[in-house]
Amino acid sequence: MKKIMSITVCIIVMMAGSPQAYEVGGVDIHGFVSQGYLCSDDNNYLADTEGGTTEFNEFGINFTKRITDRLSVGLQFFARDLGDYGGDDLELDWAVINYGWKEWLGFRAGRLKMPRGFYNEIRDIDSARVNILMPHSLYSETARDESAGVEGAGIYGTIPMGFMGNACYQVLFGRIDSKSDKSGTTAALEAQGADDITDIDYDDLFVYSLIWETPLEGLRTGWCFLDLSVEVEASLDYNYNVNSYLGMIVIPDGMGGWVGIPAGALQPDYFIHTIVDLDIEVGFVFDLSKIKMNVYSVEYVYDNLVLAYEHVYTETLTSMLDTSGALLLRETGEPYLQDYHIETEAYYVSAAYRFSEWFELGAYYATAYYNREDRDGDNVMIPSTGETWGANAWLKDECVSLRFDLSENWTLKLEHHSMDGLYSVDPDDDGNTDKNWHLYAAKMTLRF
């Protein structure tokens, strides 16, 4: 696989001498390769960033052919390396058969990009945006493998509404198929002590996307609704001591966070069946039975200025069943079962201005809350310390980006993030965290 990747990168570099796509036998060929650098003054974010890392690259190559007037097919291979994510494993990013019957009705099938918000479909295309890291609040790099694509089918179209503008819609039905053992879900569970993730099963997924292109030129608003079910089977090895958590038992929630269960309420009904020095091997099935995501978007383009605002609410209803028998119901001996509900909230506002053909400046302010009902993280304990979750419950990001288009093919970007919070942030190499920290990024992209 690495050999294929190396060959692909070489092809891209050779082809990039011209900004034009290559055409072989009626097949259009496009590609890109990026290499980046990340460095943080405290903490580790996405990779081992404290002290700097070059584990930040991606490449893709796609092939598209128009079969008939209305029918086209295409596919793209993609690989990335971002710390523990991706590992430069080559994957089929998208593979689409597309039939455009009318302007207002077309059909797509295959592995499709997910239209979640205005920019999720282009999240891997560095050349199409000013910033290096998209706002974590909506376009988390750790969740990229679960949110990039859908295997299924859908319809799309643009309905002209006269003086009211246009309505653009997409409806997709399918399944997420993240086989990668370096996906975000896998990494989140491993970070929480999972030593054996036996299965991640994504159930049926529906995505509805509606964009209104308003009569005001350049202004568009959008709404996207996503309905998904996930079942994760994992064996987790973690420690807990009921007394040290101020009456809370804290368990991983399967999404990167923790859920506290009042031990007082638990004690009369449950007892610890299997225990070895307070190290408990637990097999859980996380049935994230109802994930519902609403994304609201606004974008305004005026000449060289682009303004955007997006807000997302993600509601998760989870049933967690202990299948290992480590925890049993005291009276009946039935396995431990816990239902809980979490609603995350995130938003960002961004601005970008292109000063010239070769220079663009961008900035955004993004905020993400793990639980909108507990924005300060006061209601959850950290298992290892017994302290409240605090800054782990949020991440606020002030970002400034500089983009230099050295040519039509070559792009260089520099970026600074001033961060407040530790949500999705790892401790530094010494195991310490600082809630106020900085991240610096640089990235070079070659595209053809």
Cα–Cα distance, 77 to 90 (Å, whole number) = 7
Smallest distance from the beta carbon of 368 to another protein, in angstroms?
A: 17
Indicate the residue type of 404: F
Print the binding letters for residues 146-165 with another protein: x by CB under 8 A, - otherwise.
------------x-x-----
Q: Which residues contact 423 (CB under 8 A, 6 or more apart)?
A: 368, 369, 370, 391, 392, 393, 394, 395
Cβ atoms of 420 and 39 closer than 8 Å: no
Cα-flanking dihedrals φ and ψ of residue 445, to 5°? -125, 135
- 266-305 positions binding another protein, by CB under 8 A: 301, 303-304
Minimum distance of another protein from residue 44's CB (angstroms): 23
Provide, rounded to whole angstroms, the least separation between the CB of residue 158 and another protein.
5
Amino acid, res. 328: L
Q: Is 15 helix (H, G, I), strand (E, B) or coil?
A: helix
Q: Looking at 139-147, 314-322, 383-391, 394-402, which segment touches another protein (CB under 8 A)?
A: 394-402
User: Which residue from 35, 39, 41, 72 is in contact with another protein, where contact means CB under 8 A?
Assistant: 72
Local structure of 2: helix, strand or coil? helix
Cβ atoms of 369 and 424 within 8 Å: the answer is no
State which residue, 388 or 403, has the beta carbon closest to another protein: 403
Nearer to another protein, 107 or 313 (CB): 107
Of 153, 167, 361, 442, the residue at the interface with another protein (CB under 8 A) is 361
Q: Measured at the alpha carbon of residue 82, what is the angle toward residues 16 and 257, in degrees to the nearest 5?
A: 145
User: Is 30 an interacting residue with respect to another protein (CB under 8 A)?
Assistant: yes
CB 224 within 8 A of CB 297: yes
CB of 363 to another protein, least distance (A): 5
Report the residue from 35, 127, 244, 319 that binds another protein according to the rule CB under 8 A. 127
436 touches another protein by CB under 8 A: no
- By C-alpha distance, which of 191, 197, 341 is closest to 283? 197
Estimate the share of the chain in helix, then strand, then coil, as percent rounded to the nearest 5: 10, 55, 30
Rounded least distance, CB 108 to another protein, Å: 8
How many residues contact another protein, by CB under 8 A?
58
Q: Does 367 bind another protein (CB under 8 A)?
A: no
Using the rule CB under 8 A, give the single segment among 45-53, 67-75, 263-271, 382-390 that binds another protein.
Answer: 67-75
Among 128, 159, 265, 272, binds another protein (CB under 8 A): 128
CA-based nearest residue to 438, from 30, 45, 19:
45
Is residue 196 within the footprint of another protein (CB under 8 A)?
no
Burial code of 119-146, b = ≥16 C-beta within 10 A, e = fewer? Answer: bbbebbebbebbbbbbbbbbbbbbbbbb
| Single residue of 76, 147, 192, 392 touching another protein by CB under 8 A | 76
Instruction: Determine the interface stretch with another protein among 255-263, 318-326, 375-383, 401-409 (rule: CB under 8 A).
Output: 401-409
Given the rule CB under 8 A, which of 222-230, 269-277, 352-360, 377-385 is the region that contacts another protein?
Answer: 352-360
354 binds another protein (CB under 8 A): yes
- Give the one residue of 109, 190, 212, 218 binding another protein; rule: CB under 8 A: 218
From residue 71, give the alpha-carbon distance in Å to each of 78, 104, 109: 24, 15, 12
Q: Which is nearer to another protein, 133 or 381 (CB)?
A: 133
Q: How many CA atoms lie less than 13 Å away from 222 in the CB half-sphere? A: 26
Number of C-beta neighbours around residue 320 at 10 A: 22
Residue 396 and residue 366 in contact, taking contact as beta carbons nearer than 8 Å: yes
The Cα 400–Cα 418 span in angstroms is 9
217 near another protein, judged by CB under 8 A: yes
For another protein, the closer CB: 336 or 348:
348
Give the length of the chain: 448
Q: Does residue 241 bind another protein (CB under 8 A)?
A: no
Confirm if 249 and 338 have CB atoms less than 8 A apart. no
Within 83-112, the residues that bind another protein by CB under 8 A are: 94-96, 98, 100, 103, 108, 112
Q: Which residues inside 34-53 make contact with another protein, applying CB under 8 A?
A: none
User: Considering the complex, what minimum distance in angstroms separates the CB of residue 98 from another protein?
Assistant: 7
- DSSP H or E segment with residue 63: strand 56-66
Q: How far is the CB of 32 from another protein (least distance, A)?
A: 7
Residue 384: other Cβ atoms inside 10 A? 12
**In the complex, which residues of this chain contact another protein (CB under 8 A)?**
19-21, 28, 30, 32, 60, 62, 64, 66, 69-70, 72, 74-76, 94-96, 98, 100, 103, 108, 112-113, 121-122, 124-125, 127-129, 158, 160, 217-218, 301, 303-304, 353-361, 363, 365, 398, 400, 402, 405, 408, 416, 418, 447
